Chains A and B, each alone.
Chain A
Amino acid sequence: DTGVSQDPRHKITKRGQNVTFRCDPISEHNRLYWYRQTLGQGPEFLTYFQNEAQLEKSRLLSDRFSAERPKGSFSTLEIQRTEQGDSAMYLCASSRDSNYGYTFGSGTRLTVV
């Protein structure tokens, strides 16, 4: 297993456009998490899945954000009508469950111009 993969690594988009990011977790990991990190800050929780069920969403996740994990495998995070404030590193992590450690992807860096 090659770990947690995120695609793309970098995305530059114009304000108002929609973007979609993908995360492929470690195959035997049931849990998948999305975090957002802005410059100089620690990551902030966005949402997490247990298999295909989205169990929790942060208040940070406005109506413009949606995440899915069909079939409990890969996940996508879509941002509609991007704003400059959405510019950040979007990190994905997976784990077996809360009693185990986390494996992080390399992140997708989004720049909204």
Chain B
Amino acid sequence: KNEVEQSPQNLTAQEGEFITINCSYSVGISALHWLQQHPGGGIVSLFMLSSGKKKHGRLIATINIQEKHSSLHITASHPRDSAVYICAVSAPDKLIFGTGTRLQVFP
């Protein structure tokens, strides 16, 4: 069993839909990261969380430390949101990654 599990693995949506990606982890962590990866490989950091909730534009990330679970929400999805979204945990001196969720948003 992977230490960081994401669901779903693949997700398709129509433009404007509300999207949720889930992440569960089984190790002790100092922080949880949500990352975005576009074709070609570049990874962009979206959020770093150790508790509660953060919001940036149409993106919202939440974490429940007791349940070892985090969610990434995208409101009013847009085709430019199409990418792979990766959950990673700081444990503690390096990142352990999930396998990613491939999101495609169609117009």
Q: A26 within 8 Å of B by Cβ?
A: no
Known: A48-B93, A56-B93. A42 touches B42 (CB 8 A): no
**Interface size range of chain B in the complex:** 20 to 34
Chain A contacts of B40 at CB under 8 A?
106
Q: Is the CB of B99 within 8 A of A107?
A: no
Q: B45 within 8 Å of A by Cβ?
A: yes
Which residues of chain B in 34-70 are interfacial with respect to chain A, using CB atoms and an 8 Å cutoff?
35, 40-45, 48
Q: Is the CB of A42 within 8 A of B41?
A: no
Min distance, Cβ A36 to any Cβ of chain B, angstroms: 11
Q: Is the CB of B41 within 8 A of A45?
A: no
Q: Is the CB of B48 within 8 A of A104?
A: no
Set A42, A93, A101: member contacting B99, Cβ < 8 A: A42
Chain B contacts of A104 at CB under 8 A?
35, 42-45
Q: A85 within 8 Å of B by Cβ?
A: no
- Cα distance, A91 to B42, chains bound together (Å): 9
10 additional A-B pairs beyond A89-B41, A98-B90, beta carbons within 8 Å, are A42-B98, A42-B100, A43-B86, A45-B94, A56-B94, A98-B31, A99-B31, A102-B45, A107-B41, A109-B41
A residues bordering B, Cβ < 8 Å? 33, 35, 37, 40-45, 48, 55-56, 89, 91, 93, 98-107, 109
B residues bordering A, Cβ < 8 Å? 4, 30-31, 33, 35, 40-45, 48, 86, 88, 90, 92-100
